[in-house]
Amino acid sequence: MSNQPDELRICPNCGQANALYTLRCIRCGEELEGLFALEGFESLSEPAGKEREEDLSPMADILASLDESPLLADDKKPEEESLEKAGETEEGQPEDGKDDPDWLERIRQRAKEEEDAAGVLAKGGLAMDDRRSHEGRKQVDEAFDEIMRRIREQNDREKARRSRRVESDLVDENGDPEWLRRIRELHPNREDSSNEIQTDASTTDSLDDEWTEEELQELLRREIGLPETPAEEAEETITQEVPTPLLPTDEPEPSLSEPIAENFEEKVLQAEPDPEDFHNIPEDDDQTLKNELEDEMPSDEVEGTLPADENQTEAALQPDLEELTEPDETLVYEKDGEPVEELDSEVDSKPEDKAVEIIESETQDSSDVEDETEDVSKKSQPAEEPLSTEEVSPDLLLLRDQRDRASVFTDIIGQEGRRTIAVLREHHHQSKIGRLVLGLLLIFGVILAILLGPPGSLDLPLPAAGMSFAENLDSIDQDDAVLVVLDYQAASRSNIEPLAARTLEILQEKGALLHLVTSNPENLWLDPLQVPDDFIPGGMLGYLALATGSSSSWGEMPIQQALNGDLDLFGEFDQVVLISDSAEFVRMWLEQIGPWQPRINTSAITTPVSGPILLPYYDSGQLQGFVTGIADASVLNVEPQNLVNQRAYQVGMLLMIVILLLGMITKADEDSQRRAEEQNR
């Protein structure tokens, strides 16, 4: 087809050389009728008829080349079939044209002979148009098929790689995860440096197995290097800014009515179901990384490698390509600062007489595109070999915040297995055997002390509080009313009852008036000799209600019904003796009752546990005195037979002192050993 570009037609009028298919002379405007001369017609001028026959010879060559072209072989058959059908139809029609002129009969005869009613010339023109349109569509389809095939292949590779990553995410023998090893491989010298990772184009080019979005777009640009054949329509469709279906814009949405656009959209939709980005960079950093890559990679590197027409097509397809990867934005691609619309206008403004040249160049370009496609496909073949550091580095293009996160993760991993929060209380499983041995040792010691030898007697110094208790007791005269308050448990009766019994005995010897009350029901059955006279309900609140001494005009208070008769519990007594095993009860009495009845002298018989707690109240004068257990029995001259075995008491105390000393020594030794171990660590 490109063999006849130099053949010209000479104007018969002025001799001007015109293009082969020019209808009129470009100099004189003479109509070049020979072009449409039909065989069998007599031309108006004989020279013109000769030139016409000469001019038809190159046209025959062109048509012959078209017939020989394999691209038009398939397309020609339907036309032939349609022409045959047309011929059959004509043959079937009745011959009613007998009266027609002779030239019309010759035209009909010619049409039958040429098997194409349109004529050889028109047939050739239509064939060229069909070829261009089919070829363009075919190339576009092939390009998109190739792109989709590579996207699928890349998806498959990514899935395979992801599965390998999952397998390799397990920590190695050093306990380091896979991603941390990759970080170290990227930064073998200094992990804590600032972001030094450069993302230049050369680096990205060497990383073939990792396809970024830019690479995909670049590949698509290279492969869509189509001429703008019939194609102007398709090109117009492609270059339209298609708004994203997710975020429609205010502009009217153009319809993709052309087949190429439909095919493109279908394939884009087929590619969209896989929304995952094939990298391990967080999504929020993709845009930043992309911008950095675009900034670092000059536009000339991308666009300068492509032919001009490819750039045009690439510019036309760029919005759609951007949509393929970034559906949230509607981008307008610019080439050298010129918007797409201007490029399109340039394409549209091309004269029709250059279409042949474009077709020629497009054929050559298509072969070039195929070569490039093969090269790129070779480059893009997935490497089945194990991934090297450089191959996986695109996944690890770390930004500053990503490095910070990585450092935080490293710290967290380093903290694994270590205690970060101090345990407030560690539970040490104390051996029950030690407790059993200690109890049995104490029991056997007490038993042996009881069984062996006399009970013995205690010769302890007299405490000041006990002495005061005895002096206060001696101060009680005959007929003095003494209130005795009982509040102790059965478990402490061995400590309290000997002293309480001796105190009551002394008071009875003095002729004091005793009145026993309690608010604890257990005290009602403990000692038959200390049966309470009254039960005061409500505990300390009951005593408080009676101590306040308030009376009402409408009758007695309900609490006063607890007392037998018309007894004024606090109004008639000058002395109160508290018999209690609880220092809390004594303290509450001093706090609640003492301020209301300051004239009453209070003393207490209690257990050794309560002694240290009650001492301040004795020093302040709130307590007249107190005795604590059998240790103060000598103050009241309690008979030894009424006390527990004193030798057993001494043995028990001695054993406990030894055990305490051993415990202190053992504890000090353990502490020293623990400190030594901590220092060694």
Strands (E), 565-643: 575-580, 601-606, 625-628
Nearer to other proteins, 650 or 666 (CB): 650
Taking the complex as a whole, how short is the minimal distance between the CB of residue 645 and other proteins, in angstroms? 6
**Nearest one of 633, 642, 636 to 455, comparing CA atoms:** 642
Taking the complex as a whole, how short is the minimal distance between the CB of residue 592 and other proteins, in angstroms? 5
Nearer to other proteins, 14 or 440 (CB): 440
User: Do residues 535 and 563 make contact, with C-beta atoms less than 8 angstroms apart?
Assistant: no
505 vs 511: CA distance, rounded Å: 10
User: Do residues 642 and 498 make contact, with C-beta atoms less than 8 angstroms apart?
Assistant: yes
Taking the complex as a whole, how short is the minimal distance between the CB of residue 486 and other proteins, in angstroms? 14
Strand partners, 17: 10
Nearer to other proteins, 62 or 630 (CB): 630
Nearer to other proteins, 511 or 612 (CB): 612
Nearer to other proteins, 155 or 548 (CB): 548
Nearer to other proteins, 392 or 559 (CB): 559
User: Do residues 495 and 653 make contact, with C-beta atoms less than 8 angstroms apart?
Assistant: no
Taking the complex as a whole, how short is the minimal distance between the CB of residue 188 and other proteins, in angstroms? 40
**Nearest one of 616, 604, 649, 658 to 631, comparing CA atoms:** 649
Phi and psi at residue 309, to the nearest 5°:
-65, -30
Taking the complex as a whole, how short is the minimal distance between the CB of residue 649 and other proteins, in angstroms? 6
**Nearest one of 130, 3, 15 to 57, comparing CA atoms:** 3
**Nearest one of 406, 577, 608 to 492, comparing CA atoms:** 608
Strand partners, 445: none
Nearer to other proteins, 120 or 557 (CB): 557
Nearer to other proteins, 417 or 621 (CB): 621
Cβ contacts of 649 within 8 Å, gap of 6 or more: 458, 630
Nearer to other proteins, 246 or 422 (CB): 422
Taking the complex as a whole, how short is the minimal distance between the CB of residue 593 and other proteins, in angstroms? 9
| Helices (H), ranges, 93-231 | 102-114, 119-168, 178-186, 201-205, 213-223
Contacts with other proteins, residue ranges (CB under 8 A): 432, 435-436, 439-440, 442-443, 446-447, 450-451, 491-492, 494-495, 521-522, 524-525, 535, 537, 541, 544, 554-556, 558-559, 561-562, 581, 587-588, 590-592, 594-595, 607-613, 616-617, 619-622, 628-631, 644-645, 648-649, 652-653, 656
Nearer to other proteins, 478 or 620 (CB): 620
Cβ contacts of 635 within 8 Å, gap of 6 or more: 462, 463, 466, 467, 469, 470, 627
User: Do residues 136 and 229 make contact, with C-beta atoms less than 8 angstroms apart?
Assistant: yes
Taking the complex as a whole, how short is the minimal distance between the CB of residue 624 and other proteins, in angstroms? 14
User: Do residues 462 and 665 make contact, with C-beta atoms less than 8 angstroms apart?
Assistant: no
Tell me if residue 515 falls in helix, strand or coil. Answer: strand
Taking the complex as a whole, how short is the minimal distance between the CB of residue 470 and other proteins, in angstroms? 20
Structure tokens at 358: 């474009």
Query: Residue 584's CB: how many other CB atoms inside 10 A?
Result: 12
C-alpha distances in angstroms, 231 versus 136, 169, 235, 327, 517?
A: 7, 51, 6, 26, 117
Tell me how far apart the terminal alpha carbons of the chain are, to the nearest angstrom. 90
Nearer to other proteins, 428 or 432 (CB): 432
Taking the complex as a whole, how short is the minimal distance between the CB of residue 459 and other proteins, in angstroms? 16
Phi and psi at residue 20, to the nearest 5°:
-60, -40
Phi and psi at residue 564, to the nearest 5°:
-80, 125
Amino acid, res. 10: I
Nearer to other proteins, 282 or 616 (CB): 616
Structure tokens at 480: 């003095």
Taking the complex as a whole, how short is the minimal distance between the CB of residue 648 and other proteins, in angstroms? 5
Q: Beta strand pairing status for 17-18 and 9-10? A: antiparallel
**Nearest one of 378, 364, 229, 380 to 307, comparing CA atoms:** 364
Please name the residue that has the structure tokens 């002394």: 506
Taking the complex as a whole, how short is the minimal distance between the CB of residue 534 and other proteins, in angstroms? 9
Taking the complex as a whole, how short is the minimal distance between the CB of residue 406 and other proteins, in angstroms? 33
Nearer to other proteins, 26 or 524 (CB): 524
Nearer to other proteins, 247 or 436 (CB): 436
Taking the complex as a whole, how short is the minimal distance between the CB of residue 411 and other proteins, in angstroms? 25
DSSP symbol at 33: G
Taking the complex as a whole, how short is the minimal distance between the CB of residue 468 and other proteins, in angstroms? 15
